[in-house]
Amino acid sequence: MEHSDFLVVGGGVIGSAVACGLLHKKCSVTLLDAGGDAFNASLANFGLVWVQGKGQGSRRYAEWCHEASELFPEYVRQLETETGIDLAYRKPGGLVLCHGEEEYQKREKVLERLRNESRHGSYDCHMLDRADVQKMLPNLTLGPGITGGSYSAHDGYLNPLALLKALHMSFTQGGGHFCSGTAVTNIGYQHGRFLVTTNSGEFTAEKIVLAAGNAMTRLSRMVGMDVQVHPEQGQLMVTERTRPTLSMPISGIQQTAEGSFIVGLSNRNVGFNTDTDTRLMKQMAQRVVNAFPALACLKIVRSWSSLRVLTADGLPIYQQSERCPGAYAVTAHSGVTLAPQHQIHIADWIAEGVQPEEFERFSTRRFDVEKTA
């Protein structure tokens, strides 16, 4: 039986970032990844490092994302130096396009709300009229229905597959033990230690971190927590490669470093289902063509769907179990954007008990308050 200081369940981008952070604390860390059948959002996402628009109604979450974006350039530099893997990270800023007047007004209200809720009455993202959006996208003429958009300098993107690969490499190079194809079936707690049963043997650990995406609801109950998440399906399409054309990522439309356009503009509540829907693809393609008529000539070469991991209010949950101290739940929808926060601050919290500012806002206690109110 293998024993370690920390056992991290879930080898996606969140679990791997936390595991790398814990490894830097000179602890022994084992990372279990179910692989295969797991609905792995880390392998299927867009790769946006995105700040704008996030955190309506939760100032602390808006700040948490913004801080992550500030940490990102140095975070990527270190990971690339350590592993030699090019993450294709760029921070040119990002745009949300508005189709029609109504969307423009709605977007304006979103930014106004975020500004009003912010600490100093400022939110660094602003509305642009159609002409100014066009200036930011010199290679593609906007469709006639585009009324404008919002721009934030804090947004960017990377290659999410390269990020995951780099985290795994960094973890194993740093002496971490990565166990792929290892699915947790039970977690026991005795004398302050955890005993984890898997499909390939048992593991023991002083502390355990659950970062297993949509398996969180089931696993958290094994350590006396009730951390509820639900899947939300998103569908993506990839086009043939073109020469560099799109100068910055747009919410839902992005050109990769290799030249493919990725399109992802959907969300459906269909449970644990990753079927693709051609009607939805058609709608997504139409919206892209409405934004940029020139892209109508591009062939779509692949499509897939994957499952987002959402909490009831869409915000992250960072929670230690009261019944089984030493068990932690870490879940967030934005695993890519928040990677530096998880590797630096969440690892600090788990290993040393150092809590970031206003950290209780990310605990499950926020849901209790709503119930009793």
CA distances from 292 to 205, 244, 287 (A): 53, 15, 9
Q: Which is nearer to other proteins, 23 or 158 (CB)?
A: 158
Rounded to a whole number of angstroms, the minimum distance from the CB of residue 244 to other proteins is 8
| Comparison of 3 and 241: residue with beta carbon closer to other proteins | 241
- As measured in angstroms, the least distance from the Cβ of 242 to other proteins is 5
User: Whole-number minimum distance, CB 295 to other proteins, in Å?
Assistant: 6
Do residues 132 and 287 touch, judged by C-beta distance below 8 A? no
Joined together, the tokens standing for residue 288 give 């892209």
Question: And the tokens for 209?
Answer: 């971190």
Rounded to a whole number of angstroms, the minimum distance from the CB of residue 179 to other proteins is 33
Distance of alpha carbon 3 from alpha carbon 299, whole angstroms = 51
**Class of residue 366 by CB neighbours under 10 A (exposed 0-12, middle 13-18, buried 19+):** middle
Distances (CA, A) of 351 to 13, 43, 175, 209, 312: 19, 27, 17, 11, 27
Which chain residues interact with other proteins by CB under 8 A?
139-141, 240-243, 245, 258-259, 293-299, 301
State the minimum distance, in angstroms, from the CB of residue 299 to other proteins: 7
CA angle 179, 273, 43 (to 5 degrees): 40
The least distance separating other proteins from the CB of residue 293, rounded to whole angstroms, comes to: 5
Pick 98 or 298: Cβ nearer other proteins? 298
Cβ nearer to other proteins, comparing 139 with 199: 139
| Nearer Cβ to other proteins (301/312) | 301
Return the number of the residue (158 or 344) whose C-beta is nearest other proteins: 158
What is the crossing angle of helices 59-83 and 160-173, to 10°? 60
